[in-house]
A = this chain, B = another copy of it.
């Protein structure tokens, strides 16, 4: 399979697939005699897997670390589970941070509604959280 077909079947642009290769996220592709990259059908699943992990909030570096155990080997179920648990914790921390920011935005908003004359920097910076 040439890169164009792999691109169509995964929905990822060919440029991104090449980028993943140069980034070391996927191994260097086999080459046809004309120099074109030649992919195995298994690469479809592998790219979908990467896309799934990305949509779950994993960075390319994290994905790279998860994929790359011994060459040819697959990450163990436990390794992936542990990464997912960590990701849950990270999401929870992110949500907590977001809630705190939301609270601070609301507090600022409240201050402005209660003090409609506060139009300069000094006034606004007087807000305390």
Contact = CB atoms under 8 A, between A and B. Distances in A.
A108 interface: yes
Count of this chain's copies in the oligomeric assembly: 2
Classify chain A's interface size.
35 or more
Interface SS of A by simple majority: helix
B125 A106 contact: no
A75 B124 CA distance: 11
Contacts of A109: 81, 84-85, 88
Interface of A: 42, 45-46, 48-49, 52, 55-57, 74-77, 80-81, 84-85, 87-88, 91-92, 94-95, 98-99, 101-102, 104-106, 108-109, 112-113, 116-122, 124-125, 127
